[in-house]
Amino acid sequence: MEEDESEKKEIHTFQSLGVNDVLIESCKSLNWETPTKIQIEAIPAALQGKDIIGLAETGSGKTGAFAIPILQNLLSNPQRLFALVLTPTRELAFQICQQFEGLGASFGLKCVVIVGGIDMMTQSILLAKKPHIIVATPGRLVDHLENTKGFHLKSLKYLVMDEADRILDMDFETEVDKILNVIPRDRNTYLYSATMTAKVNKLQRASLKEPVKIQISVNKYHTVEKLVQFYLFIPLKFKVYFFWSF
Model confidence pLDDT, tens digit, residues 3-51:
454 444 577 899 999 999 999 999 999 999 999 999 999 999 999 999 9
More confident residue, 220 or 22: 22
Q: All domains of the chain, ordered by start, with CATH? A: 11-245 (3.40.50.300)
pLDDT at 245: 40
Angle at 66 between CA 185 and CA 203, to 5 degrees: 45
C-alpha span between 154 and 21 (Å, rounded): 31
Q: What pLDDT, on a 0 to 100 scale, did the predictor assign at position 185? A: 93
DSSP 116: T
Q: Could you tell me which of 157, 206, 155, 162 has the C-alpha nearest to residue 180?
A: 206
Cα 81 versus chain centre, distance: 16
CB 145 within 8 A of CB 153: yes
- The yes-or-no verdict on residue 230 having pLDDT over 50 is yes
